[in-house]
Structure 1
Amino acid sequence: MRWREHQRTTFLVASGLSTAGSFAGLTAKGWILMDGSGNPMVLALHFAALAMPTLLVSGPAGVVTDRLGCETVLIRSQWGLFGAGMLGAIAIPLSDGALQIGLLLLSTLLVGVASAYELTARNKYCALLVEGPGQLAPYITSFSVVFNVGKLVGPPLGGWLLAWTGAGLALAIDAATYLLPIASVLWLIKPNRTQEHRSVAGAGSSLRAAWTGSGPVLRHVLRYTALACLVGFFHPGLAPLMARDLLGPSPQALGLFTSVLAAGSISGGLVLQRHSRWLSQRPALLLGSCTVVTAAAQLAMARFSEPSTSSLGLVATFAIGAGTACLLSGVNLISQVGAPMAIRGRMAGLGQIAFLGGGGLSGLLAATLSLTLGLRGTFALLGTAGLVLGLIELRQRGRLRLELRSA
């Protein structure tokens, strides 16, 4: 129905604006922390405060989503995001020095916790806005495109707001963008709540029960994703080092590098969205191909990661962005369309654990290897491992099929 399509668009646009505001706020806080402390370790703590809660809280967030209902958890988590963003805004005029740094880090920590709940609830909520399983796959993957567009435009927006409005007002404006999805869910969208199936109290509502009840195909998808991320998802943590070796040590070089990564992520997301239904039924083909693309790009970076071959290195950077974006969006898509409605919140949580856990360990592994092998040697070793892993998946399970669930 036409009004359903308008509702889906409204929710997607509101979420996209909120995502851009979130990246703008994180960029602004990162600059404030670096300017105020001059300590790179504070920036590392800032990233950890954002990422670690998502890894630790995603499982419980999925359990709560399936128990209380996705709409309830979605609204509460969005209010949590708004409150966490406002904490960072009021920290600027009301504090300074170590106290201000502590409040900004606390703000980001709370954003990370609320984001884990928001993502698990949003994934399940999408099923209440579509008429059937055929519409769910492209709608879920559209959020990957929106996320990566936000990742592209958010950081420069945060810098612009800092320059024109000052730190406190910039963070307040960024926090206000969280009100957009809240307003859309409360007043503009009428989901089909009868489609939602909730879990009941007891052992059947646990994360373990969802893992067991998801079936062998989805369990394999989660295990494979964790392993693929372990060997291929280290670029978020090593981006400054990769940009320095490829383009030089300037901030402009890092900006260009991250922009090319984001452009690759957007392009990969668009391809996945266009073929989402067909690819979601072929999980090994989708995830194995993403691993092969990413690994081949890493091997190319081992060959071209120096200023004299920067143009070829940027092509490889684009491919890394596309491959990893499709891998992460792909496991999220597969875990939703292939699972019963009653466990989709927990499946979203398990998916986050798989790629954030694997990706977090990947960054530590790559950093350790780079100290002994150098960055190019790290690219060569992990790229070779990823290529072998992806080819084995395609050869052994390339014909694997997944039945799409309507409820």
Structure 2
Amino acid sequence: MSDSSSSHLRQWPTAIRALAYRNFQIYFAGQGISTLGKWVQQVALAWLAYHLTGSAVLLGLITFLSLAPQLLIGPVAGAWIDRHDKRRLLIIVQMVLVMQSAVLAAATWLHWVDGPFIAGMALLLGLLNALETPLRQALIGSFVDDPADLPNALVLNAMLINAARFVGPPLAGALIALAGEAACFALTAVAFLALLGGLLKVRGTASPKASGSTAQVFREGLAYMWQTRSVRQLLINVIMVNLLASCYAALLPILAKAVFDGDAQVLGWLWGAAGAGAFLATLALAVGGALPRLRQFTDAGALLCAIGLAGLWFAQALPLALLALAVLGFGITLSNVSTNMQLQSGAPSHLRGRVIAFYIAMRFGFEALGGMAAGLIAARWGAPATLGIAGVVLMLGLLGQYGLRRRA
């Protein structure tokens, strides 16, 4: 790196230093608009499903179908991604996402939507996300010239996603009340175009492509993660947090309508509360998330997840539920993002795509399983009790994991 480049970097505050790179600035802007649209679509799709059918099982199924492909094909997709041009692949996937949202908008506007159609669109979205999410994550490193700034780029990306998570759901609730779900889906299609435009403009540093067949590349990545003890421990934590804590997302329409007697706007507030907590977690990581302390952040986040789930179990009033969701959103994001930072910073560059894909597979795949299970349990015992059960099981799992680490 030249002296002039180093001087330019020093002019940026440490908490946002990755934004000194022009390529990351362009990606960051497009990603912000795209993620906002994605959250608007997610809230609108969940509300449309529950509004049309009143089925808790369908809500769980939608969560499962939109996330499960990342568990089933995500790890193999990571090996495939490492053998190809990541930027070009992401451009193609982004084009298909634009078309998916446009079709969903048109079908909703024409009243062609029913339960099976919504489930099919959720499955298509899940398949696309199984490629899009690891591609986006793996490309971030190519937009910053100094590997030392990669952790900051990752936390800024997470901050952006969670800021959209804070703003998007209330925006979706207001837009649904004003113009209906079709308008939300149309807005998402336009928002996806922003990231597509950014990807066409940036020219990141090309990462080395893995050699060998996809099966060989997959086995190489799997061996690295299995043989690296710290990576194994982090992935176990990811499984527990997202199986048991992230399941809350599937039950929010039930909490909004059946528990708090609200409408789409109340659903937006619930989503927004969790998003606010998540955004604060990324701020905490941006300011204090130095690599040596990240494992402490991961453990603290998992503990806060259990506390947030217990709070939702006992919350009888909407303000208390909003507070519990803020704690839950803070905990999930603190745990997941600090884990991602540790995994990416420690992984060799030629293995990064596979490591990211495995992390994302665990992150979203087990959220899918948790959402499906939560929908089935809530249909029998109700949403608050389901969340309480998840909190108790998570706390027991964390205690067991802590005991194993102490004995190791």
TM-score range, shorter chain: 0.7 to 0.9
1:259 counterpart = 2:259: no
Residues paired across the two proteins, number: 388
TM-score under structure 1 length normalisation: 0.81
Q: Cα deviation per residue 1:347-404 (whole Å; 9 max; x = unaligned)?
A: 1221122122332333455556667776665555543443344355557658x9xxxx
3-state DSSP of counterpart to 2:73? helix
Whether the 8 Å contact between 1:260 and 1:314 is mirrored in structure 2 is: yes
1:14 counterpart = 2:22: no
Structure 1 Cα separation of the partners of residues 193 and 366 of structure 2? 32
Deviates more, 1:282-291 or 1:62-71: 282-291
Give the 5 Å matches for 1:332-347: 332-347=340-355
Q: Which residue number in structure 1 is paired with residue 208 of structure 2?
A: 197
Give the 5 Å matches for 1:36-47: 37-38=52-53, 40=55, 45-47=61-63
Structure 2 Cα separation of the partners of residues 332 and 268 of structure 1? 14
Structure 2 unaligned segments of length 5 or more: list them.
Answer: 9-18
1:352 counterpart = 2:360: yes
Among candidates 225, 243, 247, match of residue 238 of structure 2: 225
Deviates more, 1:222-231 or 1:260-269: 222-231
Deviates more, 1:262-271 or 1:80-89: 80-89
1:150 counterpart = 2:195: no
Q: Which residue number in structure 2 is paired with residue 404 of structure 1?
A: none
Structure 1 Cα separation of the partners of residues 346 and 323 of structure 2? 34
Whether the 8 Å contact between 2:72 and 2:365 is mirrored in structure 1 is: no
Deviates more, 1:75-84 or 1:104-113: 104-113
Structure 2 Cα separation of the partners of residues 277 and 17 of structure 1? 28
Structure 1 unaligned segments of length 5 or more: list them.
Answer: 401-407
1:89 counterpart = 2:100: no
Identity rate, percent = 21
**CA drift at 1:80:** 2.0
Q: Which residue number in structure 1 is paired with residue 229 of structure 2?
A: 216
Among candidates 133, 151, 155, match of residue 147 of structure 2: 133
Whether the 8 Å contact between 1:64 and 1:73 is mirrored in structure 2 is: no
Q: Which residue number in structure 1 is paired with residue 78 of structure 2?
A: 62
Whether the 8 Å contact between 1:306 and 1:313 is mirrored in structure 2 is: yes
Structure 1 Cα separation of the partners of residues 50 and 322 of structure 2? 27
Q: Cα deviation per residue 1:62-118 (whole Å; 9 max; x = unaligned)?
A: 12210103222222221221222222234356x5436x7766654443332222212
TM-score under structure 2 length normalisation: 0.81
1:249 counterpart = 2:261: yes
Q: Which residue number in structure 2 is paired with residue 316 of structure 1?
A: 324
Structure 2 Cα separation of the partners of residues 284 and 12 of structure 1? 26
Q: Which residue number in structure 2 is paired with residue 238 of structure 1?
A: 251
Structure 2 Cα separation of the partners of residues 12 and 81 of structure 1? 18
3-state DSSP of counterpart to 1:178? helix
Structure 1 Cα separation of the partners of residues 245 and 178 of structure 2? 38
Structure 2 Cα separation of the partners of residues 263 and 16 of structure 1? 16
Among candidates 76, 98, 116, match of residue 130 of structure 2: 116
Whether the 8 Å contact between 1:284 and 1:394 is mirrored in structure 2 is: no
- The one-letter amino acid paired with 1:109 is L
Closer, same or farther in 2 for the Cα pair 1:38/1:241, shift >3 Å?
Answer: closer
Closer, same or farther in 2 for the Cα pair 1:299/1:128, shift >3 Å?
Answer: same
Closer, same or farther in 2 for the Cα pair 1:368/1:24, shift >3 Å?
Answer: closer
Closer, same or farther in 2 for the Cα pair 1:306/1:168, shift >3 Å?
Answer: closer
Whether the 8 Å contact between 1:138 and 1:274 is mirrored in structure 2 is: no
Whether the 8 Å contact between 1:16 and 1:147 is mirrored in structure 2 is: yes
Whether the 8 Å contact between 1:25 and 1:175 is mirrored in structure 2 is: no
CA RMSD of aligned residues (A): 3.4
Whether the 8 Å contact between 1:225 and 1:287 is mirrored in structure 2 is: no
Structure 2 Cα separation of the partners of residues 167 and 385 of structure 1? 36
